[in-house]
Amino acid sequence: MLQPAIETMFLKPLSVVYGWGVRLRNVLFDRGVLKQEQYPIPVICIGNIRIGGTGKTPMVEYLLGMLIREGYRPAVVSRGYKRSSSGLQIVHVSSSALEVGDEPRQIKQKYPSTTVVVDANRRRAITRLLELDESERPNVVLLDDGFQHRYVLPSLSILLTDHDHPLCHDDLLPLGRLRENCDARHRADVVVVTRCPAHMQPIDYSIIERNLALYPHQKLLFSSVGYSTPIRVFPTTPSIQKLTHMSGRALAIAGIANPTKFFREIKHKIPQVETLSFSDHHRFGPKDADLMNRTFGSVLGSTPSSQYPIAICTEKDAQRLSDIRHLLSPALVSNLYYLPIHTVFREYATISMDQIVLNHIRDFYRKPTSPYI
């Protein structure tokens, strides 16, 4: 009981100082001392306030798929967290996770015709997109993890908050995991409570809505994680059809912020599961490969020949594991799958995310100042 108290004693003052700095920065933006850039096309920001996973990449992919189906030409701008490169980089299908970051690579692999740009300077990235030839120039930009990047003024701001980690029940960094005070939620046009459990009662929605205390103009939505059919990381042979209560054993590998639900999903489907957990965006190396090879070898050795052992990782980890294929054993390479996830919206709000986004884009292009009307 003493250790947490000591940590609080030392970290609380640092959180206070950090909070002063964040508050001052926001005031400077709000009063126009620090300038925000606006653009002649819709810029839709998807972000969060709390560090760690809230489902930003599945949300970006959901919006990409919807916009493409509706006939738009979206592009994605991301920082490219933990990439080895610097400056502005155009993501290609052949780009490695090491070069551009695991999330941008994942998006590009899933939507190869979409322009994906990584750059810590989001203004420069958007300007570059607007300079593309007309045949390639996007008419919508999705700004991945841009809620704190206030030098860009988005035309629509979507804030994600994890169901299990309420925004206003945490402290600022470094004591807690908040990037800024939870009052910042009022900058968002839409707030999405992500990773909701399967069975929520009407009272559960009402409690969350009351605790968030959003402004009347803000929209509140709820979403869950949907799991798809596992896919081979190295597609040399067909993928298995389903992951439904398989016999045998499995090795589950996760290098994400919150691996608990991923491991729970695998253990719900497969009787015996060994787990290996790494830090979020972990850059896999020879020691990690050796550990995975040995652990999967143990799983293989203890599985009867009549059963089908597999190794399975998250979709984001698959991007980084692809970079170290040469370090993985043949057995692991041929039996390694990833479990795709997608965003599933709950039927709670009177308006859907699709309607919100599409109405926003249509209204944006109806403005007399838009050069594309």
Read off the amino acid at residue 2: L
The answer to whether 56 is annotated as binding is yes
Nearest Cα to Cα of residue 218 among 178, 185, 193 = 185
Read off the amino acid at residue 119: D
> What crossing angle do the helices spanning 56-69 and 102-110 adopt, rounded to 10°?
30
Any alpha helices (H) in the chain, and if so which ranges?
A: 2-30, 56-69, 97-100, 102-110, 122-130, 202-212, 260-269, 286-301, 315-321, 330-334, 353-366
- Asked if residues 285 and 324 have their Cβ atoms less than 8 Å apart, the reply is yes
What is the rounded (10 degree) CA torsion for 22, 186, 56, 112?
A: -100
The answer to whether 19 is annotated as binding is no
- Asked if residues 118 and 101 have their Cβ atoms less than 8 Å apart, the reply is yes
The answer to whether 35 is annotated as binding is no
The answer to whether 53 is annotated as binding is yes
The answer to whether 54 is annotated as binding is yes
- Strand 231-232 with 219-227, pairing: unpaired
The answer to whether 57 is annotated as binding is yes
The answer to whether 264 is annotated as binding is no
Q: How many angstroms from the chain centroid is the CA of residue 133? A: 29
Half-sphere exposure of 321 (CA within 13 A, CB side): 27
The answer to whether 179 is annotated as binding is no
Binding site residues, as ranges?
Answer: 50-57
Binding site residues for ATP, as ranges?
Answer: 50-57
